[in-house]
Amino acid sequence: MKTLYREFMSATLLILGVSVLIGFVLANVVYVVFTKDKMTQHNLEVTEQILHVLEGMHVSGHTVHPYLESVGQLGYQIYLVNRSGEEAFFGESFDRRQLPDETMAQVLNGIPYRGKEGLWDQIWMMGHLSNDIRNTVGLSLQIGNQDYALFVKPNSKILFSDFHAILAIFIVAIALVSLLGVIILTKRLIHPITKLSEASKAISNDDFTYSLEIRRKDELGQLAENFLQMQKQLKHNDVARKSFITNVSHDFQSPLMNIQGYADLLLSPNLDEKEQLQYAGIVSDEARRLSNLTKQLLLITSLDQSGYPVRKRQVRLDMQIKDAIKKHQWSMQDRNLTISYKLDESVLFADRELLAIVWDNLITNAVKYNQPNGHIYITCTNDEDKIILTFEDTGVGLSEESAKQVFERFYRVDTTRKRDGTGLGLSIVKEIVTILSGTITLESELGKGTIFTVMLPKKSPTPLGFDHV
């Protein structure tokens, strides 16, 4: 299996190799274009100066050799040859002494020789700096009646002096230190990624307690921080999921047990008609409660799905709320409640069915938790960019702690009154309002009542993950 460490090291070594190759090629290009001709011209000038001194000495065979030997001792390599093939070397010896015959003939005929001129010789810089006699420059020289060819080049060992050796060691040391630094840096980069991989495996096994200790200020640190946030959210979701399953199981179990118990009582032959009607009524109520719970669970599950289709169309909110009030007239009369409203004509482009669920739940809540002979007041007003709706009741109200949790699923203010509801109504309202890009808030005081305020934007953006139908 390919590891990130190996890939990173391979990529680093490849980059270093390519960099060295490109640097070498560029150095050769710079040498050939800018340096080679200057060095050749300098060597020609030195050779001309040697010839000038020899001419001033009234050249003869007895004076040439000692002088050239002394020049060789100063750091030059010299080759002297005549037409007869008599030759002499001065200074440091050449590693390669073979010079083409045409080159010697060229210099003896008075044409200067400027070193290697071939294509490949021009590309590779080291070929010009090697200890090869072909890297010399040559001029013609006359000693007595003899024509000579004088070839001169700087001593290769001087060119590659101790300083150059130190420089080469310095470059090699930098390369080794760089490579070592890359290895250490790679391990430092890979370590948090390995930790993140282990943490991911732990989460895949439902272990949300894995301790991820990564303290960095770079992108990996940000990734680790985001991972920890995700871990906390997943842990919260896992707790919520298990709590949801527990609550659903409990809420299903209670009506089912009641239905089973009273159904068994109805099978008793000793029941009178009054008891039969009473038990049948309880069975009917529990079945209705179970049906309502099932519908609400299906609805809230659908709302949780990112692909829930929002069917938007023009809705007259004032008319829709009036229709919702009419549906609750019988329950309000039963509790001797009065209702008043002030509804501005309001048109909203939204999902009609979802809005109807919101108004139904809020009115039901206002009726259910109102005081006997209480009052309900509903308003709908148009603002510049939103519609504001309030549902106010004179009911039992909520404590500060309960007000913070009332939109949570299965939350009931009074746990002894589970028969009155499922604890899902207001959480469904919250989900729907959020889907429609709105907000819902509440103000409540114990013993005085509650006010729910819903604000819906007139031009709401399309919620992410939802479709217009």
CATH no. for residue 332? Answer: 3.30.565.10
Question: Is the separation of the CB atoms in 51 and 150 below 8 Å?
Answer: yes
Question: Is the separation of the CB atoms in 134 and 96 below 8 Å?
Answer: yes
Question: What is the structure's pLDDT at 416?
Answer: 40
Q: Range with the lowest mean pLDDT among 1-15, 322-336, 407-421? A: 407-421
Predicted confidence band of residue 419 (pLDDT cuts 50, 70, 90): very low
Average pLDDT over residues 61-81: 86
Who's near 79: CB < 8 A, 6+ residues apart? 87, 88, 89, 90, 94, 97, 99, 133, 136, 150, 151, 152
Strands 338-343 and 312-316: what pairing?
unpaired
Predicted confidence band of residue 406 (pLDDT cuts 50, 70, 90): confident
Question: What is the structure's pLDDT at 144?
Answer: 75
What does the alpha-carbon distance between residue 86 and residue 104 come to, in Å, rounded to a whole number? 12
Question: Is the separation of the CB atoms in 160 and 92 below 8 Å?
Answer: no
What does the alpha-carbon distance between residue 68 and residue 66 come to, in Å, rounded to a whole number? 6
Could you tell me if residue 199 is inside a domain?
no
pLDDT exceeds 50 at position 469 = no
Is 366 or 298 the better-scoring residue by pLDDT?
366
Who's near 81: CB < 8 A, 6+ residues apart? 87, 88, 104, 148, 149, 151
Angle between helices 4-30 and 162-204 (to 10 degrees): 150
Could you tell me if residue 206 is inside a domain?
no
CATH no. for residue 130? Answer: 3.30.450
pLDDT exceeds 80 at position 417 = no
Could you tell me if residue 207 is inside a domain?
no
Could you tell me if residue 367 is inside a domain?
yes
421: number of Cβ within 10 Å: 22
Percentage with pLDDT > 70 across the chain: 86
Question: Is the separation of the CB atoms in 136 and 98 below 8 Å?
Answer: no
Task: Tell which of 103, 138, 160 closes a domain.
Answer: 160
Residue 112 phi/psi, 5-degree rounding, is -60, 150
Could you tell me if residue 375 is inside a domain?
yes
Over residues 266-318, the pLDDT tens digits come to: 888 888 888 888 888 888 888 887 887 777 777 777 776 665 677 888 999 99
Is 413 or 186 the better-scoring residue by pLDDT?
186
Predicted confidence band of residue 135 (pLDDT cuts 50, 70, 90): confident
Task: Tell which of 160, 187, 214 closes a domain.
Answer: 160
Question: Is the separation of the CB atoms in 316 and 346 below 8 Å?
Answer: yes
Could you tell me if residue 215 is inside a domain?
no
Range of the domain at 141: 4-160
pLDDT exceeds 90 at position 18 = no
pLDDT exceeds 90 at position 151 = yes
pLDDT exceeds 90 at position 33 = no
Question: What is the structure's pLDDT at 451?
Answer: 93
What does the alpha-carbon distance between residue 211 and residue 201 come to, in Å, rounded to a whole number? 13
Quote the number of domains for the chain: 2
Residue 131 phi/psi, 5-degree rounding, is -85, 65
Task: Tell which of 136, 160, 184 closes a domain.
Answer: 160
DSSP assignments along 357-380, one per residue: HHHHHHHHHHHHTBPTT-EEEEEE
For all residues of the chain together, what is the average pLDDT?
Answer: 80
Strands 146-154 and 338-343: what pairing?
unpaired
Determine the distance from the C-alpha atom of residue 235 to the mean position of all C-alpha atoms in its chain, rounded to a whole number: 23
pLDDT exceeds 80 at position 379 = yes
Could you tell me if residue 249 is inside a domain?
no
Question: What is the structure's pLDDT at 160?
Answer: 64
Could you tell me if residue 102 is inside a domain?
yes
